[in-house]
Amino acid sequence: MGEAKRRKQTGAPAPRPKNSRKPLIIGASALVAVVVIAGLYLLTRPPAPTSDNLPVAGPDTPPFPAQFDQYGISVGPEDAEVVVREFADYQCPACARFAEASQRL
């Protein structure tokens, strides 16, 4: 007796097909979720500042209260409790603009 006839006589359900679409649907849903989350992240993050957005010192800019000394630009009293030393890269557009502006002071 064949399997189909035996199922028909006993009322047993037919076996599930071996190539189920469930893993494909789960994988596609996960991929869509990742794409949506990445898209929302890219759309909502703040823009990175560029050197075009930075203020530029002009001829009418008020003087900066700084002095040149052996260490570079000095602001404030020499015996201050806190000393900040800045190291700049003049190939960086923002650092180069700052250096230009501070030289004119």
Question: For residue 1, is pLDDT > 60?
Answer: no
Pick the range with the lowest mean pLDDT from 5-19, 32-46, 77-91: 5-19
* Confidence at residue 104, expressed as pLDDT on a 0 to 100 scale: 66
pLDDT tens for residues 23-66? 889 999 999 999 999 999 989 988 777 777 777 777 787 776 77
Residues 39 and 73 in one domain: no
Map residue 27 onto helix, strand or coil. helix
Residues 8 and 30 in one domain: yes
Q: What angle do CA 79, 64, 84 make, to 5 degrees?
A: 40
Q: Is the pTM of this model over 0.85?
A: no
Residues 16 and 55 in one domain: no
Partnered with residue 68 across adjacent β-strands are: 73
Domain that holds residue 60: 51-103
Residues 80 and 36 in one domain: no
Q: How far is CA 74 from the centre of its chain?
A: 34
Residues 56 and 96 in one domain: yes
CB 15 within 8 A of CB 7: no
Tally of domains within the chain: 2
The enclosing H or E element of 5 equals helix 3-10
